Structure formats: structure tokens, C-alpha cells
Amino acid sequence: MKLQYERRWREIVGPLERRPATGGGSLECLIGNTPLVELRSVTSGLPPGVRVFGKAEWTNPGGSVKDRAARAMIRQGERLGLLNRTKTLIDATSGNTGIAYAMLCAARGYRCTLAIPANAGPERKRMLAILGAELILTDPLEGGTDEAQRVVRDIVAARPDRYYYPDQYNNDANWRAHYDGTGPEIWRQTLRGITHFVAGLGTTGTFVGTARKLKELNGAITCVSFQPDSPLHGLEGLKHLSTARVPGIYDPSLADRHESIGTEEAYRMARRLAREEGLFVGVSAAAGVAVALRIASELEQGTVVTIFPDGGNRYLADRFWSAS
Ligand code: PMP
């Protein structure tokens, strides 16, 4: 009984123990080693041998999975001598990466400029400004983050000496953050028992890095990627890859299976997770659960892990929460 209890404790909260005690660490030490949360209610009806977990990335200090990639890209810039206090970090971001850059740049004394589609949520823009980032608002009708990327490339081309442009869509440090962090963490936290990994595609860093590591650790793990089912969607942070610019770091060969999901299905699941599990997670996290449940419903036995990229508070102003 005691052993079983300790095993569960390690599985669910163990990683938090590795975070430094107060007074000992920097802000960056709080990034990663996020807990795995088991879904208990929305999984009812599945065989007892099938378990579904979400990795609680909102517990990172910037509130999202993107803290991992931003830290890796900033460290890479420093290592290569491309980023120092005479430079400005600049990138295109729909929100979470921007918050992570702004937070880490503030902590390290770097200037930070972000191109962001003008229709991004007001809370996000406010948070970026509070963290000291300069914002360039781009035309959302010109193609969302693709347009923001184009604007950044023009600015950097005009004054390359002034900027460090990590370019998260084409930077190997993005997926490597997950290859070195997210993947091994999931492996440890499931006591090497993960059978299926499910993640959405934005820059694709989370899926590519985690799937690549998990496949190396056990080639039998099934890796499932998913994307919105249409170009006009409400799954913030995810891309409809057949109509968007495909990120350079994307490796489609890592997916054993590819799923698509509609915005309404994700909204419904976000409401269910809040009411039935007490999990107030973001829309892409809810989409991950909906896809994970599709996979889980086909199994007799298995451990399915998805990612909760951010928390519901990033979407508080959205109206879908109040639908029944
Ligand atoms: N969900 C949210 C809320 C995000 O901000 C992102 C990052 N764009 C993703 C999912 C996808 O992560 P990645 O960029 O690593 O593919």
C-alpha cells in the first residue's frame, strides 16, 4: 500500500520536488519539470487499463509551454554571441512565446520587440507591455502570424546588427527544448509506460522534439499530431498547416497518425474539463484531450499523454465559456 502510494506521489507531483527551494534558484529554474495530471472524469467509460494524462505546462513561470523554447533560444543566442545587452531580441509571436521572451528578457536585461497580429487578445498585449516588450501590431487580414513573420524579417534585413532574431519556426533550439526536457520528463513520469503521445502543431517544436525523443526511447510509442480542421479556427497557438507557411523545423515523418479537430469540439471539451475535472485549461489543451480520448477509445490497454500548453485564464475574455 505504502509503495503504491509513493509511486503515485512520484508520478503526479514528484517533478515539482526537483524545483529549487525558495531563495536558491533563478526564475529560469522554474521552467520545466511540470507535473502530469491524470484525467478521471472525462475518461469514464474507458477500460480500466487505459489512462489519459495531461502535462500541466501552465505551471511554467510564464504560464505556458513556450517558456521552454524561449529559454533554449535565448541561451543559444548568448552562446553564439548573437545576443547581448547591445542587441534587441525580435520575433513574431501570437502570444505565449512572446510572453516567455518578454519575461526572460526582463530578467536578463535585454530589450525585446515583438510583432503580433493586431487582433491578439487585449490581456496578452497588456501583459507583454507590462513585461517591458515593445509591440509592433501587424495586419491580421494579411495572414496572422505569417504576416508578423514577414514584418520581422523586413526589420531585421534593414538593420541586422541591431537584432537577435531567434525565428522560432526555423530554430532547432525550439524542438530541442522538448527533446531534452518534455520528452524525458514524460518518460520518467509515466515510469516508462507511455504508449501514445498526442500534441498539436503550432511552430511544431513541442510535437517534433518530444516525439523524436520518445521514439528513441521506445520505438513502439505511437505519436499522434493534430491541427485545426480549417484555416479559420479558434485554436490559438495551432496552425492549419495545409494553408499556412510550414515551419522549417517540422518533421511529418514523426507522426504515426495525424488528426484534425474543430474549434467547437475543443470549446466543448474546455468547458467539460473545467466543470468535470476542475481543470481550467486553454483551448489547445482541450483539443489535445479530445484527440487523446479518440485514441484512448480504441485501446484495451495503454497510457496516453497529451500536453496542456497553457491555462484557461489566457482566454478568460472569450465568450465560449458560457455556452452550455
Ligand atoms: N498551444 C498554445 C496555446 C500555444 O501557444 C502553442 C505555441 N504556438 C502551441 C499550442 C503549439 O506549440 P508548438 O509551437 O510547440 O507547436
**Cα 321 to Cα 287: distance, rounded to the nearest angstrom:** 14
Q: Where are the beta strands (DSSP E) in 61-180?
A: 88-92, 111-117, 134-138, 163-164
- 142-199 pLDDT, tens per residue? 767 778 989 999 999 999 999 999 999 999 999 999 999 999 999 999 999 999 999 9
Share of the chain above pLDDT 70, in %: 92
CA 168 to ligand 1: nearest atom? 14
**CA 30–ligand 1 middle distance (angstroms):** 19
Q: Residue 117 and residue 140: Cα distance in Å, rounded?
A: 5
* Antiparallel, parallel or unpaired: β 36-38 and 134-138: unpaired
Ligand 1 pocket: which of 206, 263, 269 to mutate (most atoms within 8 A of CB): 206
How do strand 302-308 and strand 196-200 relate by DSSP bridges? parallel
Average pLDDT of 309-319? 93
What pLDDT band is residue 13 in, cutting at 50, 70 and 90?
A: very low
Quick one: pLDDT at residue 154?
97
Of 30-39, 141-150, 240-249, which one has max mean pLDDT?
A: 30-39
pLDDT at 244: 86
Beta bridge partners of 197: 223, 305
CA-based nearest residue to 89, from 116, 67, 70: 70
How far, in Å, CA of 20 to CA of 24, rounded? 6
Domains and CATH numbers, the chain: 16-64+181-322 (3.40.50.1100), 66-164 (3.40.50.1100)
pLDDT at 282 over 90: yes
**For residue 138, pLDDT beyond 80:** yes
Residues lining ligand 1, Cβ inside 6 A: 64, 66, 96, 200-207, 236-238, 282, 284, 309-310
Is 213 considered catalytic here?
no
pLDDT(41) > 50: yes
Quote the Cα angle for 27-33-36, to 5°.
Answer: 135
How far apart are the CA of 233 and the centre of ligand 1, in A?
14
Q: What is the pLDDT of residue 324?
A: 66
Bridge partners (DSSP) listed for residue 91? 114
- Name the residue type at position 293: L
What mean pLDDT do residues 116-139 have? 90
Atom of ligand 1 nearest to the CA of 284: 1
Contact 100, 132 (CB under 8 A): no
For residues 122 and 56, the model is more confident at 56
Residue 57 Cα to ligand 1 midpoint, Å, equals: 11
Q: What is residue 18's predicted lDDT score, i.e. its pLDDT? A: 47
Can you give the pLDDT at residue 119? 86
Output the pLDDT for position 320. 96
> From CA 262, how far away is CA 228, in angstroms rounded?
6
User: For residue 10, is pLDDT > 80?
Assistant: no
List residues bridging with 164 in a β-sheet.
Answer: 89
pLDDT: is 5 or 103 the higher one?
A: 103
Distance CA 205, CA 116 (A): 19
User: What pLDDT, in 10s, does the model give residues 68-86?
Assistant: 999 999 999 999 999 999 9
pLDDT at 32: 97
Q: If you average pLDDT over every residue of the chain, what do you get?
A: 91
Active site residue 284: yes
Give the C-alpha separation, 228 to 282, whole Å.
Answer: 15
The answer for residues whose C-beta is within 8 angstroms of residue 17's C-beta and 6 or more apart is none
Given the residues 66, 125, 213, 239, select the one marked as catalytic: 66
3-class secondary-structure state, position 23: coil
Do strands 50-56 and 36-38 pair parallel, antiparallel, or not at all (unpaired)? Answer: antiparallel
pTM: 0.91
Ligand 1 centre distance from Cα of residue 27 (Å): 21
- Asked if 239 and 209 touch (Cβ cutoff 8 Å), the reply is no
Q: Whose CA is nearest to atom 5 of ligand 1?
A: 237
